Structure 1
């Protein structure tokens, strides 16, 4: 499997960790100054450039799961909220190909959506906040591709991780024009960045916990082999737009889900905990749903 790096904040300093460590086990942290990791990605030297940073860094050992160890979204810049963008594509999987249609002489195109700014990303354990009155929430286990634009605006692929594209599919069912609004829910992302090509397959299970018990669970299978569009088709479409090629921008690209609790008629509610276990890659995301905001005026 690809080299894996993770970023953390510990007692006011940023660190990089290699591989994945189970809670309770010793975890080595490498102090890499802010911005150095992004610069290493832009060299296109591959994982070797990243591991070279850790070899020369000061280290300390902590216990994985230490409450003072705060996981960070991979490669998220610290220079401002507008330096990273979270977006994705709808209906990408072959299992949903019935909804992918041509329009006259125009072949089917990937359907892009805006999800949020990078500062809106949440890591495992943090609540995912949704509007006060959602219609029908849906969790979606997805592969997230990470790209970093250089000073000229050219995107550099950094690697992939996993996320939960929580959204209100109920709005989409009322009217597809409401879909952008339904996407304005918090997004969970794993701190583990895999420094390799997008996986052909990633498999695992989702469990929805309610009042301490499992209320629903199901399997998922995602990856390039499951997609109707190729990864190249998705990203070529995405980066054909100048707005996505702003110099210095980091793009987190959600590539779609195959199934969710919605397809079994299950409805998420306030306080439910979503547990996404990507067993093929040893990665897990666990986040509670939190209703927030202000109820719409009557």
Structure 2
């Protein structure tokens, strides 16, 4: 089952994807609301929707292409309080990403970089037996719900940035129940989008390189099992022509950490189990254009496609320009 979130002129709605039709649900204004209703009623989301009321169908092509009065929202969000949604991620989960990171920071005197050591730790202990705790993966913070963009939105390279580049990933979406129990709501295509030039200067710049916008969607995949093996493509378009394209692979079979191990190490912190909060967690990338020395330009279109998760996610890169304004702090004394 695939769900989308839509915004109209006066309200928002959740809709079920049915081929080229979107079937709006009359009761639900957000997937966040839908998730908590399922928790409160001790039902799964598919069970909850079996008898849900629906409004008149919408044409998915028209919405997807921006030709409708309805527009796609990020496939998951916190509808009323974006500050209570945490966006984070786990890096060095795929071999290709570890190799790309290692190449950024390789020195002649160093045979194995810290990045490759982290990947090797994952290979050795990132997939523990069920019920056991494995080695801790890398973790990074991206921001709160205010950084989320939808299919068709621009992704902004801020004036202080060195660069902006796509990172095609799968993201898990979560809510924290009133008793502090985390629940996975679904999985979605994501463009984690970060500043690889800044990161390449020194791997200790990883943290600020991640504080950028990101995009989700178009659809959220509701499935009872974690994804095991999915194939897709990442493409960069410039002036309506393909500049660069690559195959990408994700899912548990292509990662050195199991999804369960990643989730444990994210939600082991009490701060990440605050009732009512929502979380989006990126599971890592398999390939990105920067790893092949492609530098994106203003107006380039990034397309992430994993057919299992629905239609491709497309976003245009927008460069804010250079020339920072000094931010000064005012005194209260």
TM-score by length of 1: 0.88
Q: CA deviation at 1:75?
A: 4.1
Secondary structure of 2:90 counterpart: strand
Return the alpha-carbon distance in structure 1 between the equivalents of residues 160 and 308 of structure 2: 35
Deviates more, 1:178-187 or 1:279-288: 279-288
* Structure 1 equivalent of residue 313 of structure 2: 285
* Structure 1 equivalent of residue 131 of structure 2: none
Question: Is 2:136 the counterpart of 1:109?
Answer: yes
* Structure 2 equivalent of residue 61 of structure 1: 57
* Structure 1 equivalent of residue 324 of structure 2: 296
Return the alpha-carbon distance in structure 2 between the equivalents of residues 21 and 275 of structure 1: 21
Return the alpha-carbon distance in structure 1 between the equivalents of residues 323 and 208 of structure 2: 15
Q: Of 25, 34, 38, which aligns to 1:37? A: 34
Return the alpha-carbon distance in structure 2 between the equivalents of residues 75 and 188 of structure 1: 10
Aligned residue runs from structure 1 range 114-133, under 5 A:
114-133=141-160
Gaps of 5+ in 2: 100-115, 126-133, 327-333
Which has more strand, going by share of residues? 1
Structure showing greater radius of gyration is: 2
Q: Which aligned runs of 4 or more in structure 1 are off by greater than 6 angstroms? A: none
Q: CA deviation at 1:216?
A: 1.0
Count of residue correspondences:
288
Q: CA deviation at 1:60?
A: 1.4
Is this contact kept in 1: 2:90–2:140, CA < 8 A?
yes
* Structure 2 equivalent of residue 186 of structure 1: 213
Q: CA deviation at 1:108?
A: 5.0
Is this contact kept in 2: 1:120–1:187, CA < 8 A?
yes
Change (3 A) 1:11 1:5: same
* Structure 2 equivalent of residue 247 of structure 1: 275
Gaps of 5+ in 1: none
Change (3 A) 1:127 1:33: same
* Structure 2 equivalent of residue 211 of structure 1: 239
Q: CA deviation at 1:21?
A: 4.0
- For residues 182-227 of structure 1, the C-alpha deviation after alignment (integer angstroms, 9 at most, x for no partner) is 1122101004111112211121111111122211111111111111
Question: Is 2:161 the counterpart of 1:139?
Answer: no
TM-score by length of 2: 0.79
